[in-house]
A and B are shown apart, each in its own frame.
Chain A
Amino acid sequence: MIPLTAYLSVATLLFTIGLIGFLTRRNVIILFLCVELMLQGVALNFVAFARYQGNVTGQVFTLMIFAVAACESAIALAFILLLYRVGKSLNISLWQSLREPGLPAVSDQQSEEVVVLVDAMPKLPRAGIEPGFETEEG
């Protein structure tokens, strides 16, 4: 049998990685994905405890977590869309004006080096029959 500690450790590591992402990344959408990742770790904890106690209370609690996570993502995505409409960027640092009064602004150090901008879209190979565009000769 798998010891309870194994499940708990895996859940802890999932939570930790989510925490790292939440603290370091600046894209709002990635921040929310990291929160969901931490929630997955917590849910795994609950289910493991329920299994090793022989009841379903932990599973019921996990269902509640899912309900709250669904609400959270609905509201969060609405906010993200709203903020993107205003600021044209997903960078969380643009919304520092929402911080508590009296706190200094966080300034991320901008590196002086030239940043290589890579194409974000995948390059698909050409395939299929080329649609017959009307050319000038035709």
Chain B
Amino acid sequence: MVRHSFNEYWQFYALTLLGVIAVYLLLPKSQNQKFKLLRYGLMYLFLASFMMLLFTEAIGLTIEILLFAIFSLVALLGAVSLVSQANPARSAISFTLVVISVSGLFLLLSAPFLMATTIIVYAGAIIVTFLFVLMLAQQSVILLDDVQTRLPLTATSISFIFFLVAVLVIHFTYSPPQLRQPLQAIYRASLATSQEEFDQIFNLDQLNTLDEEVSKLRNTDASNSSAPTFVYLMGKECLTNISELIDEIKASYTSYKSKPSEAGYLNIKSSLKRLACANFGRLTTSQGLSSPYSGNASDMPTHRIERDRTGIPLSPANNVSAIAHSLYTDHLLSIEIAGTLLLIATIGSVVISQRKSELA
């Protein structure tokens, strides 16, 4: 029996194939390269279709999504250019592009401290050192080594097979295809701006549909290899949690229907948001080691996390002091180890780069 969810992901197979062709054609070759426009066009096509696939379920174009698309496209283009440039100096410059756009993504993930650190450490220190070494090992011409590649087709195919597997697992795990549509409907209802609108959009049928799908998944035999891929990969713990939440919401919705009130509406809306935005990854069953200074415990089920208007979890306010608190309470030993490591690396690089005559 073919799992129906694998057929649903045929776009990812096509994307992988396109990626292999596009990257393989862009890798440097010793022959004179023709059809430059075609090769770059394929790469742009690949990146554009990758972006389209990520947002099959998004609602509307927001500034956030636009910024995400720009930053990640620039990062990926920079990465491809890093790999495909024959001149190492240009590769280093492309890497700067990647670093700057990845720090843009950090900013979107509300990590401004990491953004600053990335720009200072990578773009400021590491890249400059790389360029400095490049200048020391100066080549006035592009060498044969730089235009030839080792087993380009094999390496590209293997890497993209890894990509396919990883992306499929990510999609099965964090947005199971069976639950996607009912969750989408619930997310729309949770975006309602007024009580009247909410009453109009939301009805119990949407919850029932979701409940049905969840219990269908829960009743399958997980050890059976023909079970839906999500159950097969992730087990059922998170589904149990989800159906508990569904029952809660159903109970509060019936009491809200019998006696409508502003507070009841807000309560149901926030519960719906937590339900719609829950991630389905495997829960850690062990006790979380971090203190409240680090934010939510890592074993906290995602459907219990408080969320903001659009459904993103509330992060600790004031990023820099939150990181500092976390570093100096939960991760004190890690800091000491990192400091020791840096010291050892400093001594090591001094020793290595000494000339023989100086050692005597």
Answer yes or no: A27 CB below 8 A from chain B CBs. Answer: yes
Asked whether A120 and B141 contact (CB < 8 A) given A30-B88, A59-B111, A63-B323, the answer is yes
- In the complex the two chains form, is B98's CB within 8 Å of A40's CB? yes
Contact (Cβ within 8 A) A1 B118: no
Which of A71-79, A96-104, A129-137 makes up part of the contact surface?
A71-79
Please count the residue pairs between chain A and chain B whose beta carbons lie under 8 angstroms apart in the complex: 308
Contact A16 to B349, CB < 8 A, known contacts A4-B174, A108-B150 = no
Segment with Cβ contacts to A, from B119-127, B209-217, B247-255:
B119-127
Report the minimum CB–CB distance from A107 to chain B (whole Å): 10
**In the bound complex, what is the Cα–Cα distance between A64 and B331 (angstroms)?**
10
Give a binary string over B162-186; 1 marks a CB under 8 Å from any A CB, 0 the rest: 1100110011001100000000000
B146–A23 touching, CB < 8 Å: no
For A80-94 the 0/1 string (1 means CB < 8 A from B) is: 111010000111010
Check if B102 sits within 8 Å of A40, measured CB to CB.
Answer: yes
The answer to whether A16 and B159 have CB atoms under 8 Å apart is yes
| Nearest CB of B to A77, in Å | 5
Nearest CB of chain A from residue B193's CB, rounded to whole Å: 16
Q: How far is the CA of A71 from the CA of B209 in the complex (A)?
A: 53
With A40-B98, A60-B327 as known contacts, state yes or no: A5 contacts B162, CB within 8 Å: no
Q: What CA separation (Å) do A74 and B349 show in the bound complex?
A: 6
Would B341 and A13 count as touching, CB distance under 8 A? no
Q: Is the CB of A66 within 8 A of B149?
A: no
B118 and A66 form a contact (CB under 8 A): yes
Complex contact A21–B109 (CB within 8 A): no
Binary interface profile of B, 14-57, with partner A (CB < 8 Å = 1, else 0)? 00000100010001001110000000000000000010011101
Among B30, B76, B98, B151, the residue within 8 A (CB) of A113 is B30
Interface string of B97-138 (1 = CB under 8 A from A): 011001001101111011001100110011001100110110
The reply to whether A1 and B64 contact each other, CB–CB distance below 8 Å, is yes
Any chain A CB within 8 A of the CB of B334? yes
Instruction: Check A24–B149 contact: CB distance below 8 A.
Output: yes
Residue in A29, A78, A115 whose CB lies within 8 Å of B92? A29
Contact A33 B139 (CB under 8 A): no
Pairwise interchain contact A24-B113, C-beta atoms closer than 8 A: no
Q: B65 at interface (Cβ–Cβ under 8 A)?
A: yes
Contacts of A6 on B, CB cut-off 8 Å? Answer: 54-55, 68
Closest Cβ of chain A: how far from B89's Cβ, in Å? 7
Closest to A80 in B: B133
Contacts of A111 in B (CB 8 A): 30-31, 148
> Judging by beta carbons under 8 Å apart, are A110 and B144 in contact?
yes
Task: Give Cα A56 to B114, complex, Å.
Answer: 11
7 A–B pairs (Cβ distance < 8 Å), ordered by A? A2-B68, A9-B54, A14-B98, A14-B102, A59-B326, A67-B342, A91-B143
- In order of increasing CB-CB distance, the 10 nearest A-B pairs are A55-B295, A54-B313, A71-B345, A23-B155, A21-B83, A78-B349, A67-B338, A78-B352, A24-B149, A16-B163
| Additional 12 contacts, C-beta under 8 A, given A48-B109, A56-B316 | A10-B76, A19-B159, A26-B148, A30-B88, A60-B326, A69-B122, A71-B344, A75-B349, A77-B349, A81-B133, A89-B145, A90-B137
